[in-house]
Amino acid sequence: MTPLGNTELKSTGQRAVILEIIRRGGGHLDADEIHQRARKQLPRLSLSTVYRVLQKFKENGLIEERHLDENHHHYEISRRDEHHHLICSGCGKVIEFSLPVADIITARIPAANGFEIKNCEINLSGLCPECRQKA
């Protein structure tokens, strides 16, 4: 098999399946969901392999780890744009949006002067219009 992306990772069936699932997953799958979906094709795939593969993918920049809630890690394919997620605590709907938060902070916060922001993640939750109406 050909290598995964431009990485030095060995290309295996498990990795191909997992990467494809993440790609198709719309971006908000946790390890357990990935495992369950992957098992349909690879019934003997173990959860620890999923975790190890996710770790490797992350190290190699193929995917990014998100923390949409405080209990799980979620994974999505790496993208260029800085984007964030707004989650409805009523129905679980996820709204994605772009906002250069790091730039805004650098520009507006004197205390952040000279600080090199490497990682920026926003966790937002609230109620979407539909759920507000119900409440």
- Provide the binding-site residues for a second copy, judged by CB under 8 A: 65, 67, 70, 73, 86, 88-89, 95-97, 99, 101-102, 104-105, 108-109, 111-129, 132
Phi-psi region of 82 (alpha: psi -120 to 50; beta: other; left: phi over 0): beta
**Distance spanning both ends of the chain, measured CA to CA:** 53
Under the binding rule (CB under 7 A), the answer on residue 55 touching DNA is yes
Quick check: 75 and 130 in contact, CB under 8 A?
A: no
Burial of 39 (0-12, 13-18, 19+ CB in 10 A): middle
- Taking the complex as a whole, the smallest distance from the CB of residue 66 to a second copy amounts, in Å, to 10
The entry of DNA, a second copy, none that residue 128 binds, CB within 5 to 8 Å by partner kind: a second copy
Shortest Å distance, C-beta 67 to DNA: 9
**Under the rule (CB under 7 A), what is the footprint of DNA?**
1-3, 9-15, 30-32, 42, 44-49, 51-53, 55-56, 71-73
